[in-house]
Structures are given as structure tokens and as C-alpha cells.
Amino acid sequence: MSGPVSPFPDFFYGTAWKADRTPALTELALRMGFRGIDTANQLRHYFEEGVGQGLQAAYRGDIVKREDLFLQTKFTYVNGQDHRLPYDPSAALSIQVAQSMTSSLEHLRTDYVNSYVLHGPSSNYDWTEADTEVWEAMRDQRDAGRTRLLGVSNVALSHLRQMENEGAELPTFVQNRCYARLGWDREVRHFCREHKIIYQGFSLLTANQEVLHHQLIASLADAISSTPTQIIFAFARAVGMLPLTGTSNPEHMTQDLASREIRLPAEAVDVIESLAG
């Protein structure tokens, strides 16, 4: 796989929880064919500088060029960080966003990212004044050419409705943990579909173990010589999601990417959608 990413990758490789293995796993994911990389400037869960090291190794190895990649990173509020902050916590939020972005670009050794995501709003239900300030600062980063697109993560329907009601610019991406027991985040996905927002789903496997091990998924997998994990990713794509995987296993990387070729019958998609909620 090569050539410019247009318009978005169809799978994201997630770099959370990889610590010292981040450079090697990022390079491996690119070697295996991933072109979308998700990270965050949040040392508590991500080693963003290690992602940058993996990218450099891939460029040196002629695996990929910067323009073929879709790099996504995040701004994380102080309460989502540990003591290792990528900004001055006493500075205004708009300055924190600018400092965090500068640090991300240094880590990733690039002058722009493809997508910049608010890691999570400051309240679980409300889109607060702080979020408005951060979102405007993120738009400034976009207008300055430091990111192409914007997203929000860990949002409820109430956040998105409030953004809409307040006339805020809606994001290009929503990135959420996708629980099958909530109809695979049905309400948020429907809002996204209505507003042409791309829904990125994470924890598709880890949050949905009961579905992954369900007999129906096993039978569907057997019938087309695939695996239950591939059925879940194929389902996610069939309902319009852009999935993430953070596998550390090269065979699983191959399997996860191969799930892009699977077309599930419409009836199977409907049944899986309501399997747990």
C-alpha cells in the first residue's frame, strides 16, 4: 500500500500503552500496511516521542513518506495528565493548546498533523466555557496550518447537541469507546451520521468481550473462514465506523487489516448491532 491518504485512512493504529515498545510497534504497523496513526501528548498513556522515532525509522527504511500518512494526536486537559505535562498548567487554556501542539509537532518531527482531537471535554455531560476556549484555540491551530482537521473524543450526545445549539463548529471526527451494550454507541453514531461526522470507534474488542465470544459471531466467522475479531471490525465498518486497533501482535495486525475485505450480509449487520443492547 502506498500513495497519499485520501481522504482518510480506513483503519487507525492506536499507540496507547506501548511505552518503550512504541517506536518498534509504530514502525511495524506501518510496515504491515497501516497508514493512520493515533496518539496523544499524554505520557500517562502514550509515548508520543516514541511514535515520532518509529516514524523516522519507517521514513529511513522507505516504508512510507510523511505525505502518505495520516497522523492524529490530542490535547489533554491537566486532569487527564500525570505530572509530566506538555504545557504550563498556569497558562491560559489557549496557550496550553498552542504549547501542547508545539510539543506534539516536535515529538512527531513534522510541521502539521492531519487531525487534532480534544481528548475529552472538561465535564462528562456539559460542553463548558473551558471547552469552548480550547475548541477555539484548536481552530486557531487549524487556521495556522498546524492541523488539517479537528475532532473530539469521549463525548456524549449531550456535548454534541450543545455544541450544535451554541453554533460551535462541529468536529470532523468523534472518537469514542464503543460499547455493544449501548447499541455500539448508537445515539452518538446517529448524530455523527446526520452531521457528516466520522465516528472513530475504539475498544471494539476489549469493551465487548461478551459479543466477541457470542455463538452468532463464531458461526459467522466460521462461515467465511475468518475470525471473530475480524467480524467485529467488518461490522464496525459496515455501520460506518472508522475503527482503531492497538494490537502488538504482527499476525493480529495482518488479520485486522484483512478484515477490510469482509462484506457482511445486511441481516448479519442488523443482528450484531442489537446483539447486546
- Which residues in this chain contact ligand NAP in the complex, by CB under 6 A? 14-17, 38, 119, 153-154, 175, 202-206, 229, 244-249, 252, 255-256
Least distance CB 248 / ligand NAP (angstroms): 4
Give the residue closest to ligand NAP by C-beta. 14
The nearer residue to ligand NAP, 219 or 249, going by C-beta atoms, is 249
Rounded CA gap, 32 and 225, in Å? 21
Least distance CB 98 / ligand NAP (angstroms): 21
The residue assigned the cell 525509522 is 57
| CA of residue 143 relative to chain centroid, distance | 22
Q: How many CA atoms lie within 13 A of 238 on its CB side?
A: 21
The nearer residue to ligand NAP, 88 or 222, going by C-beta atoms, is 222
**Residues 61 and 100: beta-carbon distance below 8 Å:** no
The nearer residue to ligand NAP, 141 or 153, going by C-beta atoms, is 153
Rounded CA gap, 103 and 107, in Å? 6
Least distance CB 62 / ligand NAP (angstroms): 25
Rounded CA gap, 158 and 76, in Å? 20
Least distance CB 67 / ligand NAP (angstroms): 22
Rounded CA gap, 149 and 146, in Å? 9
Q: Report the largest interatomic distance among the alpha carbons of the chain, rounded to a whole angstrom.
A: 58
The nearer residue to ligand NAP, 26 or 96, going by C-beta atoms, is 26
Least distance CB 119 / ligand NAP (angstroms): 6
The nearer residue to ligand NAP, 93 or 205, going by C-beta atoms, is 205
